Amino acid sequence: MSDNNHKKQSGIKDLIAKGREQGYLTYAEVNDHLPEHIADPEQVEDIIQMINDMGITVFEIAPDAETLLMLAGDNTPDEVAAAEAAATLASVESEQHRTTDPVRMYMREMGSVELLTREGEIEIAKRIEEGTRELMAAIAEWPKSVEKIIAEYDKIATGERRLTDIICGYLNPMDHVPSALAQQQAAEAMKAENDEDDGEDPTSEEEHEGGLDPEEASERFTELKKQFAKTTRSITRYGRMSKSATKNIQELANLFKFFKLTPRQFDPLVTNIKTSINAVRREEKYIQELCVRRAKMPRKFFIQNFPGNESNYEWSQTLSITGPSWAGNIQNELSEIQRSQKKLGKIETDTGFSIIQIKDINRRLTIGEAMSRRAKKEMVEANL
């Protein structure tokens, strides 16, 4: 087994041990132990499912004492089981497709799914929206995201856009999430009302805007615009990493995360982030190849020292002069290494974030997607 795989399995074994010890894990704890390059929501979802299958429940937030008592069982560490699970989980990153037979998986999962109660339905709806809110909050931190949606909203005044081109509703706070049945009934009632109005007033459909209240939208977008202007001033004056800017960005995210964007608006925002993270990974992979494979730098040394120095020319320059026995090899690859570092530096300049911060936003985006996808999957399975 390679040192790299051993390290991954060791980290996952530690995670499993922690889950067995405390009786649960949180999404944040799982996220902290994931290898950097696992960013596919389906992979994250698979990992969480495997952990749940081991009897370790994964929660959005740490459960209270009463919930833990209900979960209490045999949490005695099983080194063999932990090692096997770690090997399985570590292998997920290299899988291009799920290897389990889909028919057997379907039969196994359907046999374990209970009929959905109203309380269960509400709980799943809460989890779907919680994941989406986390995702939207991460998007809000990405440059130009909020600005783009505000610009789209302003086009309503000129007739270039309708409200339903931009949003399809609002996400609810944690303490007020209607059940999917209630949402369906409300939608059917609105459809029936619209059908009754057909032929009476050709402008009625536009006034309803698919059930959205233009006045409420105006209030929400006005508040968003004010906070966006305040955040922009803070970033310009003090810098994006300042305490003032950080506080204002968080307040902006807290407003933005409750908008339920249409796919036409939402998808490009996610694509922008993933395009940048893919560019980062491409350059990092090339730099690693230059340093480890060509210059013979120990992989462990690269992994420990490269983070934080992605665009730091001095790091690569110093290694090429004062490094160990492989320093001369680094010198031979220096121009190519620094060419990729320059590209990473441009990404940092364009976004205003360090590479580490870009990865953090992407990981929060991914975990939000995984939370929402997993809850939606449970909803679909329970209704089959």
Residue 373: inside a domain: no
Burial class, 39, CB count within 10 angstroms (exposed 0-12 / middle 13-18 / buried 19+):
buried
pLDDT digits (tens, 9 = 90+) for 214-263: 999 999 999 999 999 999 999 999 988 899 999 999 999 999 999 999 99
Is residue 361 a part of any domain in this protein?
no
Whether residue 207 sits in one domain with residue 133: yes
User: Per the domain annotation, does 381 fall within a domain?
Assistant: no
254 plus 277 within the same structural domain: no
Burial class from Cβ neighbours inside 10 Å (0-12, 13-18, 19+) for residue 20 reads buried
Report the pLDDT value the prediction gives residue 206, as an integer from 0 to 100.
Answer: 44
| 63: three-class secondary structure by DSSP | coil
Neighbours of 367 (CB within 10 A): 24
Residues 253 and 302 in one domain: no
Please report whether residue 379 resides in a domain: no
Q: Which one of 261, 294, 312 terminates a domain? A: 261
Do 131 and 234 reside in the same domain of the chain? Answer: yes
**Same-domain status, 90 and 127:** no
pLDDT score for 126? 83
Q: What is the pLDDT of residue 107?
A: 40
Q: Which domain holds residue 326?
A: 273-351
Query: In Å, how far are 251, 276, 292 from 344, measured between CA atoms?
Result: 29, 10, 19
Q: How much is the pLDDT for 176? A: 44
Same domain? 134 vs 237 = yes
Same domain, 129 and 253: yes
Same domain, 136 and 247: yes
For 52-61, what is each residue's pLDDT tens digit?
766 788 887 7
Report yes or no on 278 lying in a domain: yes
The residue among 346, 354, 304, 306 whose CA lies nearest residue 330 is 306
pLDDT at 114 (0 to 100): 56
pLDDT at 237: 95
Kindly give the pairing relationship between strand 259-261 and strand 57-59. unpaired
Task: Please list the residues that pair with 26 across neighbouring strands.
Answer: 59
Same domain, 140 and 246: yes
Question: What local confidence, expressed as pLDDT, does residue 10 receive?
Answer: 59
Domain tally, the chain = 3
Whether 244 and 148 map to the same domain: the answer is: yes
Q: In which element (H, E) is residue 111 found? A: helix 102-112
111 within domain boundaries: no
Do 252 and 126 share a structural domain? yes
* pLDDT value of position 36: 63
- Domain assignment present for residue 41? The answer is yes
Q: Is 367 domain-assigned?
A: no
What are the DSSP calls for 337-383, one per residue?
Answer: HHHHHHHHHHHHHHHTS-HHHHHHHHHHHHHHHHHHHHHHHHHHHHT
Same domain, 277 and 252: no
The residues of the chain scoring below 50 in pLDDT are 1, 73-81, 84, 91-113, 174-183, 199-208
Amino acid 101: pLDDT:
45
